[in-house]
Amino acid sequence: MKFLFFFMGIPLMIMSFFETYDVLPYVSQSGLILDGHQIELTQEQQSNLQEEVSKLFENSRTVPALGVVFDDMYHEDIQNGTFVTLKFDSIFEVNGLPFDELVFKVEPTYQGISIVRGMNGKYNGRCLFVDLEENMQEFSDYLTNLKTDLSLSNKENEIQAENSVENLEIKNEMENTKND
């Protein structure tokens, strides 16, 4: 009987260990948190980020995690560093752990990541741990390029805003001279 239980239990364990990668196609919104600030991404940037996350998780293994997070600890932790958020429209479960959002820190040397599970905006309980095939260097480089693009885009927007203000001031001066 033990022999039969062993062979029935192993396939179920193996199936549950590969579920983190399996939920990635159901991400409805992905995002970036830089030093505690949520960064708005365009739809194209979100889509590219999701593709890169899928590449990162290829050939990964979900293994039992010892990490536990509390909401206060989570909000303190995200104040420093780069984090990726993956939000879902419905509740998913990996290894008996439910979530509607997953968040993980990006460090180039990490070869495994603790993934914080969120549920209805709260982050409590056991984490998921994903053992990656390689370190996160390539993914980190992608995010560095994305951050550079975002900062250039913000500078362009600031310059456009400044030009708009200057043009408005010039227009107002011209109207004031006409009225005199």
Whether 58 contacts 133, CB under 8 Å: yes
Give residue 159's pLDDT.
52
Q: Residue type for 40, please?
A: E
Q: Would you state the pLDDT for residue 151?
A: 74
Q: At what angle do helices 137-179 and 43-57 cross, to 10 degrees?
A: 170
**pTM for the complete prediction?**
0.75
Q: Tell me the per-residue pLDDT of 13-59, one tens digit each, with 9 for 90 and over.
A: 333 434 688 899 999 999 999 999 999 899 999 999 999 999 999 98
Q: What is the DSSP string of the chain?
A: -HHHHHHHHHHHHHHHHTHHHHHGGGEEEEEEEETTEEEP--HHHHHHHHHHHHHHHTT-EEE----EE-HHHHHHHTTSSEEEEEEEEEEEEETTEEEEEEEEE--TT-SEEEEEEEBTTB--EEPEEEE-SS-SHHHHHHHHHHHHHHHHHHHHHHHHHHHHHHHHHHHHHHHHHHH-
Most confident of 12-16, 57-61, 154-158: 57-61
Q: Which pLDDT score, from 0 to 100, does residue 148 have?
A: 85
Q: What is the pLDDT of residue 147?
A: 87
pLDDT higher than threshold 70 for residue 126: yes
Q: In this predicted model, what pLDDT tens digit does every residue of 93-123 receive, in sequence order?
A: 988 899 999 999 999 999 999 999 999 999 9
